[in-house]
Structure 1
Amino acid sequence: MADDIILSTRGLGRDFKGFTAVGEVDLKVKRGTIHALIGPNGAGKTTCFNLLTKFLQPSRGSIVYNGRDITNMKPADVARLGLVRSFQISAVFGHLTVLENVRIALQRKRGDSFDFWRSERVLDQLNGDAMNLIEQVGLANFRNHTAVELSYGRKRALEIATTLALDPEMMLLDEPMAGMGHEDVDRNSDLIRRAAKNRTILMVEHNLSVVASLSDTITVLARGNVLAEGNYETVSKDPRVVEAYIGAGHG
C-alpha cells in the first residue's frame, strides 16, 4: 500500500507570529490520481500548498515524496525529483513565442544552462519535442504568437506545457481555472485530464464543478485542519463541509 502513496504529510503545520495558518495536516495522495485540496476562504489551502512545494518551511511535521523525506529540501531540489509546481499567476515569458517558451523549459530539463550562447541550429533540435507539447495543450495554431498575445486561458495552457516539459511525475496546480471563462475552463479541464493519464496531480481549485468532474479524491480544509476527505459525492454531503462553506463564504 505504501507504494501507492506518492506524497504524504504527517502533522504538517505552519504558524505566523502566533497565528496558526495550518494546524496538523495528515495527507496521503495516491499515485496516478487527481487529488483536489479545497476549502472556504481562509481555510489554509494556499499555505498548505506552499508547504508541500517547499516555498514555505513548516513549523512542524514532515513531508514525504516517493518514500523520501523532503521536509527540509529547497523547491528547486524537490522539482528535480519530479515534483513540479505550476503557479497561480501565469509564469511564462510574455515577449517570447509559445514555441520559445516551451523550448526554454525543455532546455531547463536538460541541465542547468538555458544555452543562450548556443547557435540557433542547436536550439532548433528541440523544436520537435516542443511542438509535440504545444500540440498536446492545443496551441499548435499559436506557436509563433508571443505569450502576451494569448488569452488568459491559453496562457495557462502554455504554462502547463512548460510544466510538462520538465517531465514531472507529479504536478501541483495552483488554482488552474482562476479567472477563466467557461470555454477556457472546459478546454483546460480536458488538458488536465489528459495530463493525468501518466502522472499524479494535486490541485488547489475554487471551481467546485471542476473539482467534481476531475478529482478522484478531495481533501477539505477548514481553519487549517483537515475537515473531510473522500470523493465529491461523499464530501459534498458532509454536514461539516456544508456548514464550513456557508459559514465562511466561498470565493
Structure 2
Amino acid sequence: MVDDTLLETRHLTKEFAGFVAVNDVSLRVRRGTIHALIGPNGAGKTTVFNLLTRFLPATHGQILYRGEDITHARPAEVARRGLVRSFQISAVFPNLTVLENVRVALQRKLGTSFHFWQSERSLDALDERATELLAQVDLASHRELLAVELPYGRKRALELATTLALEPELLLLDEPTQGMGHEDVGRVTALIQRVARDRTVLMVEHNLSVVADLSHVITVLARGSVLAEGPYADISRDRQVLEAYIGSAEPEAAV
C-alpha cells in the first residue's frame, strides 16, 4: 500500500526553561485531508505550528515532510518546499489595495521581491493570476479597495489569498475563524473547503462546529500531549476529551 503521509512528527518535544510545552507528539497528516489540531487554551497547539514551520527549534524529536527530515531546516526553506502557514492575527499591508497585497505575495516566484527600483508596470504580468486568486476567495470585486477598508472577515480572506499565492502543498491555518461573527465564519468555512480540494490542510481551530464541518481527522492536545485522535464522531464521545474541556473559558469548546 502506498504511504499517503505528507507530514509526520515523531516524538516532537519542546521545552522552555524546564517547562514542557509540547510533549512527545507524534502525528501523521495524510495527503488530501483536512486535519484539525484542537485542545483547551495552553494545550500547545500554536507551539506545534511554530515547530512545524521552524519558527521554534525542537528540543527533541523529528519532523518529516514528504518523507524528508526538515527538523533543522530554516523557515524560508520549509516555505519553499510547500509548507506555508497563516497566523492568528491578520497580516496584510493595510495601505495597499487588495490586488497589490496579492501581487506582493506572487513576486516571490518571480524573484523580484526586492527590486524596488523597477517600474510598477513590471508587475502587471501578475494581475491575471492575482485576480484568479481573489476570485477563489470571493474578493475579485474588492480588488481596488485598500486592505484597511475591508471588514475583518474579508481581511482574513485576503490573507488566505496571499497564502495561496505561495502555492502551498500543505496549508497550515492558525485559528482561521478567530474573532469572526456567524456570517463570516460560514463564509471562511466555505472558502477553506474550496481551497482544500487540491491541497492538504492542517488547522488549529477553537470553533468546534467548524472542526466538525471540515475535518477528516482531529488530533486533541492537552497539556502538550496527544490526548486522542480520530474523526469528530469518535472524538466528541471520548470521555478524556470531554473532561479536558470541562470548565474551559471558550464557549465554542464544548464538544
Class of the TM-score when normalised by the shorter of the 2 chains: over 0.9
Aligned partners of 1:115 and 1:3: how far apart in 2?
A: 42
Contact preservation (8 Å) 1:13, 1:24:
yes
Task: Please name the residue that 2:165 is paired with.
Answer: 165
Task: Please name the residue that 1:174 is paired with.
Answer: 174
Aligned-residue RMSD, C-alpha: 1.2
Task: Please name the residue that 1:37 is paired with.
Answer: 37
49-58 or 153-162: which moved more? 49-58
121-130 or 200-209: which moved more? 121-130
User: What is the correspondence of 1:79-228 to structure 2 with a 5 Å cutoff?
Assistant: 79-111=79-111, 113-228=113-228
Contact preservation (8 Å) 1:107, 1:115:
no
Deviation track 1:23-68 (CA, whole Å, cap 9, x = no partner) reads 1000100001000000011111111111111111111000000111
Q: 3-state DSSP class of the match of 1:94?
A: coil
What number of residue pairs does the alignment pair up? 251
- Aligned-pair CA distance for 1:140: 1.2
Task: Please name the residue that 1:67 is paired with.
Answer: 67
Gap change, CA 1:111 and 1:191, over 3 Å in 2: same
Q: Give the partner amino acid of 2:209.
A: S
Contact preservation (8 Å) 1:217, 1:232:
yes
Q: Give the partner amino acid of 1:201.
A: V
Task: Please name the residue that 2:27 is paired with.
Answer: 27
Q: Which runs of 4+ in 1 moved over 4 A?
A: none
Instruction: Compute the TM-score of the two structures, normalised by the length of structure 2.
Output: 0.95
Q: Give the partner amino acid of 1:83.
A: L
Residue 10 of structure 1 pairs with residue 10 of structure 2: yes
Q: Give the partner amino acid of 2:224.
A: G
Q: 3-state DSSP class of the match of 1:91?
A: coil
Deviation track 1:91-128 (CA, whole Å, cap 9, x = no partner) reads 11010000000011010122263433222322111101
Aligned partners of 2:30 and 2:81: how far apart in 1?
A: 17
Aligned partners of 2:117 and 2:188: how far apart in 1?
A: 35
Q: Give the partner amino acid of 2:47.
A: T
Instruction: Compute the TM-score of the two structures, normalised by the length of structure 1.
Output: 0.97
Q: 3-state DSSP class of the match of 1:156?
A: helix
Aligned partners of 2:113 and 2:205: how far apart in 1?
A: 33
Which consecutive unaligned segments of at least 5 residues does structure 2 have? none
Aligned partners of 2:109 and 2:68: how far apart in 1?
A: 21
Residue 244 of structure 1 pairs with residue 244 of structure 2: yes
- Aligned-pair CA distance for 1:2: 5.9
Q: 3-state DSSP class of the match of 2:177?
A: coil
Percent identity for Structure 1 against Structure 2: 67
Q: Give the partner amino acid of 1:79.
A: A
- Aligned-pair CA distance for 1:249: 4.5
